[in-house]
Amino acid sequence: MPRPTASAPHPPKPRWHYPLAAAACGATTVVTMPLHDWLEPVNAVMLFLLTVVLVAARLGRGPAVMASFLSVGLFDFFYVPPRFSFAVSDIQYLLTFAVMLTVALVIGHLATGMRQRAEEAQQAARRAQALHALAHQLAGALTAEQVLHHLQAFMQDQLGADLHLWQPGLDHGLVLLHGEDTRGPAPSSSLTLLARSIAQDSARPRAHHVQDEQGAQGSDDGAGTHHVLLPLTGSTRNRGVMMVSLPASAAPGAQATLRQHTAMLDAVGALAATALERLHFVDVAHQTELEVRTERLRNAILSALSHDVRTPLTALVGMAETLSLLQPPLSPQAQEMAEALRGQALRLHEMVSKLLDMARLQASLQGQRNHLPLRLAWQPVEEVIGASIQLLGTALARHRVAVDLPPDLPLVQLDAVLMERVFGNLLDNAAKYAPPDTDIRITLTAEAEHLLVRVRNAGSGFPPARLQEVFALFARGEPESHVPGMGLGLAICKVIVEAHGGHIEARNPEDGGAEVCMRLPLGTPPTIEPEQP
């Protein structure tokens, strides 16, 4: 893994700065030479020091150092007796030279430092303004391609560098995002693998990774192009990897340019991660809003259809029963058709009843803020199961229901009417998908905090790939099944059981068949005192 790059020194000054510094010292000498007769040497020293200050402020540290030494030499040659010679008649002038050189170097250093800090402050202000403009542009981006466009334009304007962006794909990999302004060659396979490694590391932060702590990682490929790869880490997950590429031939010190701007690249990466995460949450919110609207529309349609269809179905069942009771009796063929008409009407009536029940449950959940109103009471579960078996009637004619009850089964706090619907739906489903003349077994087990209820048949079992989908609305174990139904029974069971604070799931036992397990909270039942004789 490549290591973070360090900050590079400032680029060297142009060569013409040094001749310009020498010309400035010469100009100072030419200006002060006619004034030699009445200008004191100390004033001449001040003028040379002023020249050093100006050179340092305008041309930089190197020319200022050269001007310092050149000023001492010119002052010695033109002002110190004997003139026009580097010989020194008075030893005190050596101290003057030393102090003048020291002061010139210190002043040049300070002036150069102030100039550099001023330039850095101006550059930081321009960079902050550019980052602010980039943040404003990214805040208005509507797609990931627009985010890439703004990032590439910013990087070309600030550094003249190319930018590529990877985003997480559907298979938890990385997908290269293509934009209209994408320049330079596509990233090589080695860079793509490195980007995947960085994305995985940033998704699981590790303290011993120096790269993750500093945010940017630099590497050089064989072609001399310098790359900086930054993980785009959002608040919840990794949003991709950004790569900034700058060829070494782009400008003198191109690689040093990227090393200097590590902080700016980190800021750009943070802005990109925020923009991509915002787009993700916008998509999630939009999908959620569509799902809510679809659910409301579906509930409204279910409620309307259930009420409008139920009345004519009741009349249809009544007319079919009337046909079978006519005197004189109908012919055997007509009687058979009347019975078939009555059976189909009753089956359709049952479907509509389930639709109406589901619509009522959904409406109750929405009205109570996802809390289904329950009429709870401490009930013996075996009585609820017995009432459900009696309600099914002929639906269990071809099956025997075996109920395994422990002798010390406690009371359970539940809504008896709703739980009768749960056991009725489970037994009805078990009877539909079980071979004729097979047993349906209900097993109850008291655990530490829950009552475990298992309803099992001897059928072919649930499709293994759809165990988590059988409790959804209109979901069936086999989409093209010959067994009549609408896929609402288990959905109703799930809503009622979860409203009781329980959990329900489907599974396929290893020894065959299908099984639905639900857990209901036990709580603390009231104490029942024995009757006095």
397-401 long-range Cβ contacts below 8 angstroms, 24+ apart: 398/431, 398/436, 398/437, 399/430, 399/431, 399/434, 399/436, 399/437, 399/438, 399/439, 399/440, 399/457, 400/439, 400/440, 401/427, 401/439, 401/440, 401/441, 401/442
110-116 long-range Cβ contacts below 8 angstroms, 24+ apart: 110/56, 111/52, 111/53, 111/56, 111/57, 111/64, 112/56, 112/57, 112/60, 112/61, 112/64, 114/57, 115/56, 115/57, 115/58, 115/60, 116/10
72, 105, 135 — which closes off a domain?
Answer: 135
Q: pTM for the whole thing?
A: 0.50
The reply to whether 414 and 479 lie within a common domain is: yes
For the chain, how many structural domains are there in total?
4
The reply to whether 169 and 49 lie within a common domain is: no
- Is residue 290 included in any domain, yes or no? no
Q: Is 255 within 8 Å of 9 (Cβ atoms)?
A: no
Instruction: DSSP letter for 109, please.
Output: H
Angle ∠(455,457,461) on CA atoms, nearest 5: 105
Residue 320 and residue 310: Cα distance in Å, rounded? 15
Residue 357 and residue 355: Cα distance in Å, rounded? 5
Domain that holds residue 74: 17-135
The reply to whether 53 and 119 lie within a common domain is: yes
135, 170, 187 — which closes off a domain?
Answer: 135
Q: What is the pLDDT of residue 180?
A: 64
* Closest C-alpha to 212, from 225, 192, 227, 197: 197
The reply to whether 311 and 429 lie within a common domain is: no
- Is residue 331 included in any domain, yes or no? yes
CATH number at residue 156: 3.30.450.40
Q: Strand runs (DSSP E) across 158-268, as ranges? A: 162-168, 174-177, 217-220, 225-233, 238-247
Residue 86 and residue 93: Cα distance in Å, rounded? 11
- Give the list of residues 6+ apart from residue 525 with CB closer than 8 angstroms, or none: 378, 410, 411, 412, 413
Q: Is 376 within 8 Å of 414 (Cβ atoms)?
A: yes
- Is residue 533 included in any domain, yes or no? no
- Is residue 315 included in any domain, yes or no? yes
The reply to whether 311 and 338 lie within a common domain is: yes
- Is residue 6 included in any domain, yes or no? no
Tokens of 448: 């530490």
- Per-residue pLDDT of the chain (533 residues), as tens digits, is 333 333 334 444 567 788 887 888 788 878 777 777 677 777 777 787 787 778 777 777 778 777 777 777 777 777 777 776 666 666 666 666 677 777 777 877 777 778 778 878 888 888 888 888 888 888 888 888 888 888 888 888 888 888 888 888 766 677 888 766 666 667 777 777 777 776 776 544 432 222 333 344 554 444 467 777 888 877 777 788 888 887 755 554 555 566 677 788 888 888 888 888 888 888 888 888 887 887 777 767 766 766 677 677 778 878 877 877 777 877 888 888 888 887 777 777 777 776 666 666 666 555 554 556 778 889 888 898 888 888 787 778 888 889 988 888 888 888 888 888 889 888 888 888 888 888 899 999 988 888 999 999 988 888 887 777 888 776 665 554 556 656 677 888 888 888 888 999 998 888 888 899 999 998 787 766 666 66
The reply to whether 97 and 179 lie within a common domain is: no
CATH number at residue 355: 1.10.287
Q: Is 402 within 8 Å of 529 (Cβ atoms)?
A: no
Q: What is the pLDDT of residue 302?
A: 66
283, 304, 339 — which closes off a domain?
Answer: 283
The reply to whether 317 and 349 lie within a common domain is: yes
Q: What is the pLDDT of residue 453?
A: 92
Helix (H, G, I), strand (E, B) or coil at 440: strand
The reply to whether 352 and 382 lie within a common domain is: no
The reply to whether 417 and 478 lie within a common domain is: yes
The reply to whether 220 and 341 lie within a common domain is: no
**523 phi-psi bin (left φ>0, alpha ψ -120 to 50, beta other):** left
- Is residue 161 included in any domain, yes or no? yes
- Is residue 504 included in any domain, yes or no? yes
The reply to whether 354 and 415 lie within a common domain is: no
